[in-house]
Structures are given as C-alpha cells and as structure tokens.
Amino acid sequence: MKTRRILALMFAAITLPCAAADKVVVTVENTATWQRGEGEMVEVDANAIAQRLYGRQHTLSATDVVVSAEYGDTLPCQLTYDGKLIFQCPLVSAKGKRRVFVTKAAEASAQKAAPQVAGRLYPERQADFSFENDRVAYRIYGPETQRKGEKLYGYDIFNKRTDKMVLDKWYDLQCDQQMWATVSKLRKMGQRNVADDVYNYGFCYHVDHGEGMDCYKVGSTLGAGTNALMRGEEIVYPWCFREAEVLDNGPLRLTVRLTFAPVDIDGASVTETRVLTLDAGSSMVKAAVSWQGLPSGLTPVAGIAVHKENPTAYIINKEKGYVAYEDLGDPDIYQKRYRDAQDPDKGKCFIGCLVPHAASCQYVPLPKETSGALGHLMVKGAAKPYMEYYFGNAWNRNGQVGIDTMADWQHYLDRYARQVATPLKVSVK
C-alpha cells in the first residue's frame, strides 16, 4: 500500500501543471571564431516553449508569442510543420552568446509578419512548382512536363534583384491569356514585329523589367544543383515530380515534399522523395533526398550543368565538399531580332552545391553536348539511399545581396560550409 501511495504521488507530481513563466530565455551560443547570424535560422522545440509559458501542454501558434532580441528588437517567428519555433538569428560575436526572449503575445499586439518566402504549384504553367525567398527563386518541372515527354530534369533559376515576392506576378503576366490573345491577333494581322514588341517589352519574364528574369538554361541536364544517381560514370537522371505537398509556407521558411513516380532501375522499382527547405535571408536550399528500393551499385550525387559559354569557370573544393560555377545565361533567351537591342550581358549567375562529408567532387564530361552543356560538376554522397545536401545561387545584378564576383560567391560558400559543420548551440530556460 505504501508503495502504491508513493507511486500515486509521483504520478500526480508529474502530471500537475508547472508554474507558468512570464518569459522564456533562449540562449544562442556561437562556438565558431567568426561572427554569426546573417541568414541563419534558430530552431527551438515549440513544446518546450509552450510548457514554460503556459505551465502545461499547449498547442502553440505563431500569434501566441512575441520573440524579441536582448536589446528590444522584435524578431519575426514561425511555427514549422515538425514542431519547431524558428526565428532569424541576431548577430552573435565570435565565441559569444546572445539571449532572446519569448513572451506571450497580447491579443491586440499580435502581428502577422510579412512573408519572406513563398511557393506553390502553378497549374497555369504546366503545374510547375516554383518557390522563392528574398534572395533566390527556383522552378521545378512537374507532371504535366513529364506527360508531354519533355526531359527537363534539373532545377531552373529565376534570377531576382528584389527582396519582394515576385513569382505570382511574373507567372500572372507570362500566362495572361488576354495578352497572348492580343499577340496572336497582331500576328494574324501581319503585325509580327508589333506582336513581338508586346510580348518582349510587355510581359515576357525572360526579359529583365527591373526585378529580374528567367535566363537560365536547364534542358536535359541537372541544371542548378539537382540530385541524381551515378552508375560508374553514367548519370541516372530523375524526371519530374508526381506530387508536391507544401509543409511550411512562411513567413520565414518554405518546406515542400516532392514525391516521384516509381521508375525501373536495373530491374528494381525505385521511388524518390525530396524534402526541400528554403529559409528567409539564405541563398541556399536544403535538400533531404531518399530512395526506396534502390539497388546496389548506384551512388547519390548532386550536380551543376557546365555550359559551353563558360566551360572552365568553376571551382571544386574537395576539402569542404562543394562545387561552384559561374553561368552566363542562355545566349538564345532573347528572340533573335532583340539580341542587339537587349543587353547581351545577362549578368553572372553563381551556382553552388554543397554535400557535407562528400565522398568526392569532380567535373564529369557528358558523352556529347546536351542542351548547351558540356558536362556537370558532381558532388558524390555516401553510397546509401539517402543524401542531405545544399544548393543555391546568387546573381551579380542583385545589389542587395552583395555577391558580385566568383570570389564573393566562394567566400559565401566557404562560410556556409563552416556554418553547416559548426551549428549554433541553442538552450532554453
């Protein structure tokens, strides 16, 4: 009886609510020898925050709390699908610490942060999945592209030079049926040059109208950092995703799960799943890729197409596990008669691929020129059915980012690789 009574008291003590705290202190420690914070996201267990603030289990929402830095600045925050409270890290000095406070939000003061990431399916344009943050934007080709038999394997880049969310606007213009009807009518009237002017200067997103442009060539390559499989020196390309499920959609993080149709590889039925994560303030996308039913003899890789216009403008850093390339854009992106009128210099797009603990980094030539590409920069992961890696880009026309040269981009990738290898330490009390 005495033992039962003791156990009952212990159970009651465990299940009784704790005293609610006025605030939760999150300490962010930088163990590295350089200043941290730019473009980095702090992740905290949302349940731990709720338990301390409410003294009991509570399903937290982003409007329940206010996150503020030690010196009073309010930091936008987000609750993620996997139970984390995230916020952008304030600057932390080398070997230093910063405290951040989480408090309950007064109902009247709870504010919705402006989105710094966005992404969705675009059924109006062959069901692409496109996504962006305040620095970069990407397109992933979907089931409609595959149904048509177009072999577009890789990630496409939309070069941005604004921190605003622009993809909805660009797609709306590019897919505007009234504008296309006007173009078609002018062509039927014999006014082809006028029709081309309407398209080129009015709504074409392959022309930079002040916010950026799509001038990257993907074709039948891995494009700007897509994963694949290698059988010896042969690339086993992925095709287009079958389903896209948005798990997080801002204001600070976008997460999407892409599921691919099963394919036959060496007699085995293989299904690929990718989870892509893009945070505000970052030029890099995290990719977690897994394969079910993968036969032996295949190695996960991530690659960047090397185009013939700039065949040697790349860096291979085997020690840190990344490759980088300077792309000059598709030379045929403009209609022929506009190539002199438009600025032929489409800027320089710097592309990178980082695989922590990479097995190897190398340039792999293609058997023949494909979609203007001569080969790929490849980073190999371990020979197992899972790979986690990062891909990203910067455009030298985007003055807000401050990456103007390949040396700048290499510096960014060096720092990013160190950040991945030495994560911030976060504690809650």
Q: Is 302 in contact with 225 (CB distance < 8 Å)?
A: yes
Name the nearest CA neighbour of 331 among 179, 409, 244, 215.
Answer: 215
Return the pLDDT at 144.
92
Name the nearest CA neighbour of 325 among 368, 363, 382, 381.
Answer: 363
Q: Tell me how far apart the alpha carbons of residues 304 and 301 are, in angstroms, rounded to a whole number.
A: 10
Return the pLDDT at 7.
47
Instruction: Find the mean pLDDT for residues 383-400.
Output: 94
Return the pLDDT at 383.
82
Q: Is a pLDDT exceeding 70 seen at residue 6? A: no
- 5 confidence band (pLDDT: 50, 70, 90): low
> For residue 103, what is the enclosing H or E element?
strand 97-104
**318 vs 10, residue with greater confidence:** 318
For the chain, state the CA radius of gyration. 24
Instruction: Find the mean pLDDT for residues 224-231.
Output: 96
Average the pLDDT over each of 113-127, 188-202, 272-286, 380-394 and give the range with the smallest value.
188-202
> For residue 414, what is the enclosing H or E element?
helix 406-421
Strands of the sheet containing 234-236, edge to edge, are 234-236, 224-231, 299-307, 373-380, 360-370
Instruction: Find the mean pLDDT for residues 142-146.
Output: 91
Q: Is 274 in contact with 292 (CB distance < 8 Å)?
A: no
* Structure token digits, residue 23: 């605030």
CA 141, chain centre distance (Å): 15
User: CB-side exposure of 248: number of CA atoms within 13 Å?
Assistant: 28
Return the pLDDT at 343.
62
Return the pLDDT at 344.
64
What single DSSP character describes residue 155?
B
Return the pLDDT at 77.
93
Q: Tell me the whole-structure pTM to 2 decimals.
A: 0.91
Task: Give pLDDT tens digits for 23-32.
Answer: 899 999 999 9
Handedness of CA 345, 225, 43, 78 (dihedral sign): positive
Average the pLDDT over each of 73-87, 96-110, 209-223, 373-387 and give the range with the smallest value.
96-110
Q: Which residues pair with 74 in a beta bridge?
A: 68
Return the pLDDT at 10.
44
Return the pLDDT at 301.
96
* Structure token digits, residue 112: 């919705």
Return the pLDDT at 108.
47
Task: Give pLDDT tens digits for 246-281.
Answer: 999 999 999 999 999 999 998 999 999 999 999 999
Task: Give pLDDT tens digits for 317-365.
Answer: 999 999 999 999 988 877 776 766 666 678 999 999 999 999 999 999 9
Spell 292-324 as b/e; 16+ CB within 10 A means b. eebeeebbbbbbbbbbeeeeebbbebeebbbbb
Return the pLDDT at 15.
44
Q: Is a pLDDT exceeding 90 seen at residue 417? A: yes
In percent, how much of the chain has pLDDT > 90? 69
Return the pLDDT at 207.
86
Instruction: Find the mean pLDDT for residues 124-152.
Output: 93
Task: Give pLDDT tens digits for 14-24.
Answer: 444 556 778 89
Instruction: Find the mean pLDDT for residues 37-55.
Output: 90
Return the pLDDT at 186.
85
Average pLDDT, the chain: 90
65: phi then psi, degrees, rounded to nearest 5:
-130, 160
Instruction: Find the mean pLDDT for residues 173-196.
Output: 87
Instruction: Find the mean pLDDT for residues 400-427.
Output: 96
- Coil, strand, or helix at residue 401? coil
Instruction: Find the mean pLDDT for residues 222-236.
Output: 94
Instruction: Find the mean pLDDT for residues 276-302.
Output: 96
Instruction: Find the mean pLDDT for residues 394-409.
Output: 95
- Reading phi first (left if > 0) and then psi (alpha if -120 to 50, else beta), residue 137 is in beta
Q: Tell me how far apart the alpha carbons of residues 253 and 256 are, in angstroms, rounded to a whole number.
A: 10
The strand ranges marked E within 46-164 are 65-69, 74-75, 77-79, 84-88, 97-104, 117-122, 128-133, 137-140, 156-157, 159-160
Q: What is the distance in angstroms between the CA of the first residue and the CA of the last residue of the chain? A: 38
